[in-house]
Amino acid sequence: MEKVQDGQALGGGMEADQPASPQEPPSPPSPPSPPSPRSPAAPEAPELLAPEPPTEASARQLLLQEWAPPGGSLELPPRLTWKLLFLRRPLYRNLLRSPNPEGINIYEPAPPTGPTQKPLEALGNFRGWHIRTENLQQNLSWTVKQQCVDLLAEGLWEELLDDEQPHITVMDWYEDSRLDVCVYELHVWLLAADRRTVIAQHHVAPRTSGRGPPGRWVQVSHVFRQYGPGVRFVHFLHKSKNRLEHGGLRRTRVTDSSVSVQFRE
């Protein structure tokens, strides 16, 4: 298994991380702004991760030890309590829904699979994803999956995002399927409260090196730092390439997608 940060080790990937501006992302073409399809509804409250502490003081102590904020302390707005944060755990957890919809283990080579005529939704639990297809030339196509994470609905708060600006980390793993020179793209936008104003963005389209056996998993990740105030949503979109063959589509698989928020080290 081979790790790749921001697609650089695969040679010639397209990359951008910048504040919003009228400039278009570099080639290959990327959406200059978040896609227009509706965003998924705010996710349901996460399951209880640990027993509720008996007091507000104990919840504060446990979270400060776990989160290690800069300076060792953290001020909460009046509307929040430490006990509520202890239940929600908005930091250091994956905020995407169905991050591994096909149940694939990245610690082993991608399991062999042939072309299929089944729709993608029939191959796993894709709850929370909006899915569409982009047709290309030469029997190729993109499967496009996207989610929009509501950071406030997940338990974060405005003062934390604006003043502390904790790191926002995105990560993904895709299969080196060799269906084309580029079989995967990642596009992420940090959005303001209107879900349209772009505060920061990142785009990458790694190229395969052609070395090693096909089917290995390739990691792509990026950390947003010092992105400025006003971030309320993270729009996460990735593309995986398909090729039409006799018997159906042969797909490039993607798994263990994640969006998380954590204090900078």
CATH at residue 164:
2.60.120.260
* pLDDT score of 41: 55
110 shares a domain with 81? no
* Domain total in the chain: 2
Mean pLDDT of all residues in 25-51: 55
Question: In the predicted model, is pLDDT for residue 47 greater than 70?
Answer: no
Residue where one domain finishes, among candidates 70, 88, 106: 88
**Inside any domain, residue 28:** no
Residue 245: pLDDT band (50, 70, 90) is very high
161 shares a domain with 82? no
Question: In the predicted model, is pLDDT for residue 213 greater than 90?
Answer: no
Angle at the Cα of 252 from the Cα atoms of 249 and 255, rounded to 5 degrees: 130
Share of the chain above pLDDT 70, in %: 80
- Mode of pairing for the β-strands spanning 217-224 and 2-3: parallel
**Inside any domain, residue 151:** yes
**Inside any domain, residue 36:** no
156 shares a domain with 69? no
201 shares a domain with 144? yes
Between residues 133 and 34, the one the model is more confident about: 133
Residue where one domain finishes, among candidates 58, 88, 118: 88
**Inside any domain, residue 26:** no
pTM of the model: 0.81
Mean pLDDT of all residues in 102-121: 90
* pLDDT score of 13: 43
106 shares a domain with 190? yes
Mean pLDDT of all residues in 61-78: 92
* pLDDT score of 209: 77
The CA distance from 253 to 166, in Å, is 30
163 shares a domain with 211? yes
- Model pLDDT for residues 177-190, shown as the tens digit of each residue: 999 999 999 999 99
Mean pLDDT of all residues in 100-125: 91
**Inside any domain, residue 34:** no
225 shares a domain with 201? yes
- Own/partner long-range contacts of 142-145 (Cβ < 8 Å, ≥24 apart): 142/185, 142/239, 142/240, 142/241, 142/242, 143/239, 143/240, 143/241, 143/242, 143/251, 143/252, 144/237, 144/238, 144/239, 145/237, 145/238, 145/239, 145/240, 145/254
Question: In the predicted model, is pLDDT for residue 12 greater than 60?
Answer: no
Mean pLDDT of all residues in 30-50: 57
Residue 183, class by beta-carbon neighbours within 10 Å (0-12 exposed, 13-18 middle, 19+ buried)?
Answer: buried
Mean pLDDT of all residues in 203-229: 91
206 shares a domain with 83? no
**Inside any domain, residue 37:** no
**Inside any domain, residue 256:** yes
Could you check whether the bond before residue 28 is cis, i.e. omega within 30 degrees of 0? yes
Question: In the predicted model, is pLDDT for residue 242 greater than 90?
Answer: yes
* pLDDT score of 30: 52
117 shares a domain with 157? yes
Residue 7: pLDDT band (50, 70, 90) is very low
102 shares a domain with 77? no
- Model pLDDT for residues 148-205, shown as the tens digit of each residue: 999 999 999 999 999 999 999 999 999 999 999 999 999 999 999 999 999 999 999 9
132 shares a domain with 54? no
The strand pairing partners of 29, in sequence order, are none
80 shares a domain with 59? yes
Quote the mean pLDDT of the chain.
Answer: 85
Which residue segment(s) compose the domain that 81 sits in? 50-88
Residue 264: pLDDT band (50, 70, 90) is confident
Share of the chain above pLDDT 90, in %: 71
Least confident of 12-16, 121-125, 257-261: 12-16
